[in-house]
Amino acid sequence: MTTIAPVASRRRRTDRAMRGVLLVCTLLALVPLVFVVYYLLEQGLGALSWSFFTSDPSGRFLGDPGGVRSAIIGTVLIVGLASLLAVPLGIGIALYLVEYGKASRFAHVVRYFVDVMTGVPSIVFGLFIYIVLVLSGIGGNFAGWKGSIALALLMLPVVSRSAEVVLTLVPDSLRESALALGSPRWRVVAKVVLPTAMPGLVTGSLLAIARGAGETAPLLFTAFAVNSTTWNLGNQMNSLPIQIFNDVRQAQSNIVERAWGAALTLVLMILALTLLARLIQRRSRIA
Amino acid sequence: MSSQPKEARVSAEPNEQSAASPVATHVPAPADRAGAREVRTVAPTVAIQDLHAYYGDQHAVRGVSLTYAANEVTAMIGPSGCGKSTLVRCINRMHEEIVGARAEGTVTIDDADLYDNDVDPVSVRRTIGMVFQKPNPFPTMSIFDNVAAGLRLTGRRGDVKDRVETSLRGAGLWDEVKDRLARPGMGLSGGQQQRLCIARTIAVEPDVIIMDEPCSALDPVATLRIEELIDELKRDYTIIIVTHNMQQAARVADKTAFMLTGELVEFTDTRTIFTNPSDTRTEEYVTGKFG
Amino acid sequence: MEAATIQHGGRPDTGRPPPSRLPDRLLRWGLTGIAAGVLVLIGYFFIRLYLESRPVFSAYGIIDFVLTDAWIPSKDRFGALPLIVGTLITSGIALLIGVPVAVASALYVTELAPVRIRQPLIILVELLAAVPSVVYGLWGVFVLIPKLKPAEQWVSDSFSFLPFVGGTVAGPNYFIAGLILAIMILPIVAAISREVMATVPVEQKEAALALGATRWEMIRMAVLPYSRAGISGAAMLGLGRAIGETIAATLVIGNAPQIADSIFGQGYTLAAVIANEFGEAAATPTHRAALIAAGLVLFVLTLVINFVARYFVNRSQRAMTRSVPTGMAG
C-alpha cells in the first residue's frame, strides 16, 4: 500500500523561506526607483515653470538663479551630433560583423573589443578627448562638438552591440533569396537586411542615445559649461547633466531647487526616448 | 512483427535468466516473452480517471481513464501530438510545471489521490520517478553526485554510498563506472548517460517509473540495453513507458495503450493490440497506415 | 556575380553590363575599416593616456605612484593609494550589496514570478539604469545622506567591535557611495544573470523536479550550478561599472584623499578625483599628468576586469550551446 509521504517540514520551510527571500530582494531592488522618482517629483515639479525653460542660468548666487534653457539646448545639440556620429558607425560595425566578418578571427577580436569598450568608464573617454582634442588646441579650447565625440565613443559600442543582435535576427533565407536573384551583396544589405532590421536598429539606437544623454563625466572637460545659450557647437556649451552637477555642489536652496528641476527634465527626456524605443520595438514585433 | 526483434534481443543477452523461470504473480502472461521474472517488491497500481489536460486553450488530453497494473510495463503509443507524453506527465504532476498548463481528473496510486488538495506535487514526484527523452544528467556533477542528488534532498547521510552503488548496479552501469565515480556524468556516452539517469531515478526508491521516450536519442545497441533494464526493473516497479517505436512497445510492454488526438483508443495486452486490435484506427496505426 | 556575363539556359545576353563590384568592395572594406578603427582607437587611447601621464610616472615610478598614500596637489605630491583603496572599498561594498540582490531578483523573475508580472518586473529593474548618474548623485546628497545618517551612526556605535566599523559617521562616506554604486550596477548584473538563467535547459530543471526537488532545491540543483560562470561574469561586469562610475561617487564620497579607518569615513576614488580636480589642474602640468595617470590606472583596471568578465560570460554561453552527446553506444 503506497502512501504519499509528505515533504519534510524542514524542506518545505526552507523552500518557502527562500522564495520569500527572493521576492523580498526583488522588491528591494525596486525601492530606490520608487524613492528616486518620488523625490524627483516632490522636489523637481515645484521648480518647473515657464521661465525655468526660457531663461539661462543667471550665474548670480543671490536672487534669481535663472533657468536651464542653455542646458536643454546644449544637451539636445551635443547629444544630437553624438548620435549622428555613433549611430551610423555603430551600425556599420555591426554590419561588418554580421555580413562580412562573421566567425573570422578578426571579427572575433572586433566583437571582443566592442564588448570591452562598453566597460570603459565614461570619464576615461572624456579624458581621452581632452588630451586629443582640447589639449592639442584643435578648433580652439573646449567646444560642444568635442563633448559630442566623447559621448559618441560611449554610445558607439552600445549601438553596435544591439545592432548586431538585431541584424543576426534577419533570417538568412531572406539574404539567400536576394542573392540568388543575382543582387550584389551591397544591394542585399541596403534593400533587404537594413529595411528588415530597421525597427530594431532604431530601438537600439534610441536606447543608446538615452544612455548618452544622461552622461556627465565625458562632458566635464570637453564641452565645459557656460551659462548663456549658444547654438554653435564650436563654442563651449552648457548641458543638463553638467548644470545639475554644478548646482548640487552649491548649498543655496534655490540653486539646489534648480538642480532638482533640471534632473526631472533630464529624466523625462530620457524616459521619453526609452518609451519611444519600446513603442517601436513593440510595433516591430506585431508586424 | 514483434518476433524478429525479440530473437535479436535474446541472442544479445546471453546472461538472461532462462525461459524456464515461472510466472509467479498475478501479472498476466506477457505478450511475447520468453520468461517473466518474479516480483521482488510489490509495486502499486496507478489508476487514471477521466483525466483532462490543457496547454492554455489547447485541450491535449480528453478524458482518459486507464489503470496501470502493478509490476507491469505499460507502453503508451500513438502518433506525435496525440497526448501520450502529456498524459504521463500528469501522473507525476510534471505537466503543471509548464507555464499555462493544467490538468483535471483523478490519478490514484493504490488508493491515494495524487491530485488531492493537500498533496504536494513534490512528494508525488518522489513516489513516481521519471526518465526523460534526452539523457539529462546534471552537467556540473560527478557520476556519484548525480546518483546521490535525489538522496541528498531528503538529508540522508549514512547510507548514501551504498545506495549509489545499489542504484548503479540496478541500472546496469556499476561495472562500467565504478572506477570513475568522481568523473563528470557528462563524460559518459549517450546510453550510459541515460542509464545514469535511471540510476538517479531509482536511487530515491520510487514505486512507479515513468519513461518518456527514453531511447529516442540512443542508437540500437544502447536502446537494447535500456530495454533489458526495463524488463529487470519491473520486478520492483510499475513502469509506464511512452514510445513512438512500436517494435519497442512490443518488446518491452505487458500492456499497450494507443492514443489518438488526446483520447485513449484502445488499451489491452500488447500481443492483442499488435495482432488483433479491436479498433480500426489502432489497426491502421500499428500496421503503419499513418504515423 | 561572376556568372553575370555567362549566358544561362540559352537566354540571350541582354547586353546589360555586369553589376559593378566596386560598391560591394567599398562597402566591405569601408565596414572593415570602421571595425578596425575600434581596435586602433583603444590602442591609441592607451598610448595617449600613457604619454600624457609620463611626467608623473617618471617622477615617482609606477609602483610608487600606485602604492604611496599621499595625494597632496598643493605640495605637488601624488601617491594614488588612497584613491585606489577608496575605489576598491566602494566597489566592494557595491558588489556585496548589489550582486546578491540582483541575482536574487533574476532568480525570482526567471523561476518564480507569475508569468504575467515577469515583463513588468524586468522593465522596472531596467528603469534603474535609465536614471542618470548625476541624478543618483543629487538624490544621494540630499536624500540618502541625511536620511541614513542616524541608522549608520547606530550601526557604527553598536558594531564598533567589527573591523572597519566605529567612530563618528561622516555625511558623505564610503558606505553611501557603495550603496549608490550598488543601485547603479544592479540592472546590468540582473540583466546578464537573467540571460544566463534563461538558457538553463528545461531538461535540467525537469530532472531536478522529477527527483522530488522543491522549487528552491531545483534552483540550487539545476539553475545555480549551471549559471555559475555567467553570474560570476555578470558580477565582474558590475565591478567594472562600479569602479569606473564617476559622478555619483564624486558627489557622495566626501572627496577626501585619505584612507579612512571606517566604512563610514570620507574617502576618494580614482574617477572622482579626475572629475573633481580637473578644472583646477588644467593649468598645472604635474597635477594634470597625475590625474591622467589616475585615469590610466582606472582604464587598465577596468580593461582587466572586463576581459575576465567576458571570459566568464562567453564561457558560460559556450557551455549553453553545447548539447548532450547523443546516439552513442551505451
ipTM: 0.91
Q: Are C323 and B137 in contact (CB under 8 A)?
A: no
Which helix (H) or strand (E) segment holds residue B242: the answer is: strand B238-242
Which phi and psi (to 5°) does residue C36 adopt? -65, -35
Residues of chain C with Cβ-Cβ distance to A258 below 8 Å are none
Fill in the DSSP letter of residue B57: T
Q: Residue B170 pLDDT more than 60?
A: yes
Chain B residue with minimum CA distance to C213: B122
Quick one: pLDDT at residue A149?
94
Q: Do B120 and A6 touch (CB under 8 A)?
A: yes
**pLDDT tens, per residue, chain A with 287 residues:** 456 778 888 899 999 999 999 999 999 999 999 999 999 999 999 889 998 998 888 877 777 888 899 999 999 999 999 999 999 999 999 999 998 888 888 888 888 888 888 888 999 999 999 988 888 888 778 889 999 999 999 999 999 999 999 999 888 888 888 888 888 888 888 888 999 899 999 999 999 999 999 999 999 888 888 888 888 888 889 999 999 999 998 878 889 999 999 999 999 999 999 999 988 888 765 43
Distance of CA B223 to the CA centre of its chain: 13
Q: Do C206 and B94 touch (CB under 8 A)?
A: yes
Radius of gyration of chain B (CA): 19
Cα–Cα dist A134/A145, whole Å: 11
Residue of B185, B51, B167, B189 lying closest to B113 (CA atoms): B51
Residues of chain A with Cβ-Cβ distance to C36 below 8 Å are 106, 110
Residues of chain B with Cβ-Cβ distance to C204 below 8 Å are 136, 138-139
pLDDT band at B22 (very low <50, low <70, confident <90, very high): very low
Query: What pTM was estimated for this model as a whole?
Result: 0.86
Give all chains having 3 or more CB-to-CB distances under 8 Å with chain A: B, C
CA distance A21 to chain C (A): 8
| C184-219 per-position pLDDT tens digit | 999 999 999 999 999 899 999 999 999 999 999 999
Residue A77 in contact with partner chain C when CB distance is under 8 A: no
Biggest CA–CA distance in chain C, Å, is 95
Cα–Cα dist A217/A215, whole Å: 6
Q: Do B112 and A10 touch (CB under 8 A)?
A: no
CA distance A280 to chain C (A): 15
CA distance A29 to chain C (A): 7
- List B264's β-bridge partners, or say none: B259
Quick one: pLDDT at residue B177?
94
Which helix (H) or strand (E) segment holds residue B101: the answer is: strand B101-109
Residues of chain C with Cβ-Cβ distance to A28 below 8 Å are 101, 105
Residues of chain C with Cβ-Cβ distance to B191 below 8 Å are 328-330
- Looking at per-residue pLDDT, the higher value among C287 and A58 belongs to C287
Q: Which single residue is written with the C-alpha cell 551630433? A: A81
Tell me, what amino acid is at A104? S
Residue A252 in contact with partner chain C when CB distance is under 8 A: no
| B200-241 per-position pLDDT tens digit | 999 988 999 999 999 988 899 999 999 999 999 999 999 999
Q: Do C105 and A189 touch (CB under 8 A)?
A: no
Which phi and psi (to 5°) does residue C191 adopt? -65, -45
Residue A192 in contact with partner chain C when CB distance is under 8 A: no
Q: Do A10 and B44 touch (CB under 8 A)?
A: no
Mutate to test the interface with C, among A27, A85, A123 (most CBs of C within 10 A): A123
For all residues of chain B together, what is the average pLDDT? 85
Q: Do A119 and C302 touch (CB under 8 A)?
A: yes
Q: What angle do CA B170, B174, B179 make, to 5 degrees?
A: 160
Q: Do C49 and A182 touch (CB under 8 A)?
A: no
- What's the grid cell of residue B278? 479491436
Query: What 3-state class would DSSP assign to C194?
Result: helix
The beta-carbon neighbor of A4 closest among B127, B153, B155 is B127
Q: Which single residue is written with the C-alpha cell 513534490? A: B122
Q: Do C246 and A117 touch (CB under 8 A)?
A: no
Distances (CA, A) of B140 to A120, B164, B185: 33, 18, 8
Tell me, what amino acid is at A177? S
Q: What angle do CA A238, A242, A248 make, to 5 degrees?
A: 130
Q: Are A169 and C9 in contact (CB under 8 A)?
A: no
Cα–Cα dist A260/C135, whole Å: 8
Burial of A142 (0-12, 13-18, 19+ CB in 10 A): buried
CA distance B44 to chain C (A): 18
Cα–Cα dist C141/C171, whole Å: 9
Quick one: pLDDT at residue C19?
55
Chain B residue with minimum CA distance to A10: B154
Query: What 3-state class would DSSP assign to B46?
Result: strand
Q: Do C210 and B132 touch (CB under 8 A)?
A: yes
Quick one: pLDDT at residue B34?
41
| B54-111 per-position pLDDT tens digit | 999 999 999 999 999 999 999 999 998 899 999 999 999 999 999 889 999 999 999 8
Burial of B103 (0-12, 13-18, 19+ CB in 10 A): buried
Mutate to test the interface with B, among A1, A3, A4, A11 (most CBs of B within 10 A): A4
Which helix (H) or strand (E) segment holds residue C186: the answer is: helix C174-198
Cα–Cα dist A259/A256, whole Å: 5
Distance of CA B142 to the CA centre of its chain: 24
Got the DSSP string for chain A?
----PPPPHHHHHHHHHHHHHHHHHHHHHHHHHHHHHHHHHHHHGGG--HHHHHS-B---SSS--B--HHHHHHHHHHHHHHHHHHHHHHHHHHHIIIIIITTSHHHHHHHHHHHHHHTS-HHHHHHHHIIIIIITTTTSSS-HHHHHHHHHHHHHHHHHHHHHHHHHHS-HHHHHHHHHTT--HHHHIIIIIHHHHHHHHHHHHHHHHHHHHT--HHHHTTT---SS----TTS----HHHHHHHHHT---HHHHHHHHHHHHHHHHHHHHHHHHHHHHHHHHHH-
Q: Do C216 and A18 touch (CB under 8 A)?
A: yes
The beta-carbon neighbor of A2 closest among B44, B119, B153 is B44
Q: Are B194 and B216 in contact (CB under 8 A)?
A: no
Q: Residue B243 pLDDT more than 60?
A: yes
Distances (CA, A) of B151 to B160, B201, B203, B229, C212: 7, 10, 7, 22, 10
The beta-carbon neighbor of B132 closest among C206, C217, C226 is C206
Fill in the DSSP letter of residue B222: H
Distances (CA, A) of A98 to A172, A193, C111, C150: 11, 10, 33, 55
Q: Residue C30 pLDDT more than 90?
A: no
Q: Do C211 and B200 touch (CB under 8 A)?
A: yes
Distance of CA A42 to the CA centre of its chain: 25
Mutate to test the interface with B, among A2, A14, A19 (most CBs of B within 10 A): A2
Residues of chain A with Cβ-Cβ distance to C30 below 8 Å are 92
Q: Do C330 and B197 touch (CB under 8 A)?
A: no
CA distance B148 to chain C (A): 11
For all residues of chain C together, what is the average pLDDT? 86
Residue A135 in contact with partner chain C when CB distance is under 8 A: yes
CA dihedral sign, ordered A131, A137, A140, A145: negative
Q: Which residues 228-257 of chain B have a CB within 8 Å of chain C?
A: none
Cα–Cα dist C109/C104, whole Å: 9
- Looking at per-residue pLDDT, the higher value among B257 and B7 belongs to B257
Tell me, what amino acid is at B217? A
CA distance B126 to chain A (A): 8
pLDDT band at C56 (very low <50, low <70, confident <90, very high): confident
Residue A149 in contact with partner chain C when CB distance is under 8 A: no
CA distance A222 to chain C (A): 11
Cα–Cα dist B9/C209, whole Å: 34
Chain A residue with minimum CA distance to C21: A184
Residues of chain B with Cβ-Cβ distance to C214 below 8 Å are 122
Residue of C99, C298, C300 lying closest to C181 (CA atoms): C99
Residues of chain B with Cβ-Cβ distance to A4 below 8 Å are 109, 112, 114, 119, 123-124, 127
